[in-house]
Amino acid sequence: MPTEEWKQEIMGEPWYLGDTINSSIGQGNVLATPLQVAVMFAVVANGGDLVTPHFVVTEGEDPQKWRESLNMDPKTVKVLQEGLRQVVTAGTGGAVNDPKLPNIAGKSGTAEAQPRESHTWFGAYGPYENPEIVVVAFGEHSGGGGGSFAAPMVKQVLDQYFGVEREEEEETPAAP
C-alpha cells in the first residue's frame, strides 16, 4: 500500500485526497500479487482469520499456528460474505453461478495500467456455506472486465476441484 512517505520519496509529489480515494478501491499505486488477493479472500471465507500461506501441515502440527484472528466484527464478515455471494448471483460474477457447482462467492476487478490495457481479476471461494477452496485469476493487460475474462478461468479451476464433468459443447471457453 502506498503511503505519503513512499509517494514523496519515489515520485517526489505530495499525497493528495485523490490518492486516498484511489487507494481505498485498490487503484493508483496499490500493488498486490494473486497470492495476496487469495489471502484476502480467505479472510472473508473463513470468518475473519488471516491464514499464512504454506505448502503443507505436517502430521501432529497444530494448523492453528497458521491462523491469526483479525478480530473482525461478525456482522462485518456476514455483510462481506453476502456481498460476495450477490456478485455471483446478480452481478459481474455470473460466470461461476452454475448449477453444477456448489454455491460460490466472488468478486471481479479491473486494475488500470495506463497507457496499456487494464488488468483483470476474479477471486472466488466455495462452497459459500462451508468454504474449502479459494481461487484467484489474473489477466495481465487483458482488457475487458474481471467477470468476463478472469471469472471463466476461475470456473475451470472450480470445475476440476469439484469434479464437474462437462460436455464438450458446454465447456467454459478458454480465455483469449
Element (H, E) at 150: none
Averaged pLDDT of the chain: 92
For residue 147, what is its C-alpha cell? 467477470
Radius of gyration of the chain (CA): 18
Q: By mean pLDDT, which of 47-51, 96-100, 163-167 is the weakest? A: 163-167
**Cα–Cα separations (whole angstroms), residue 33 to 39, 52, 106:** 10, 14, 17
Sign of CA dihedral 146, 152, 156, 161: positive
Give the ranges where the chain is alpha helix by DSSP (H): 4-11, 17-24, 34-45, 74-90, 146-149, 151-161
Residue 21 has pLDDT above 70, yes or no: yes
Q: By mean pLDDT, which of 60-64, 126-130, 165-169 is the weakest? A: 165-169
- Say whether the peptide bond before residue 127 is cis (omega within 30 degrees of 0): yes
Query: For position 171, what pLDDT does the model report?
Result: 55
Query: For position 174, what pLDDT does the model report?
Result: 52
**Cα–Cα separations (whole angstroms), residue 104 to 34, 75, 114, 129, 162:** 19, 20, 32, 9, 12
DSSP secondary structure letter of residue 46? T
The total of other beta-carbon atoms located within 10 Å of residue 58's CB is 5
Residue 135 has pLDDT above 60, yes or no: yes
Distance CA 45, CA 81 (A): 7
Distance CA 139, CA 57 (A): 31
pLDDT bucket at 7, cuts 50 / 70 / 90: very high
- Say whether the peptide bond before residue 152 is cis (omega within 30 degrees of 0): no
Query: pTM for the full model?
Result: 0.87
| Domains of the chain, first to last | 1-31 (no CATH), 33-170 (3.40.710.10)
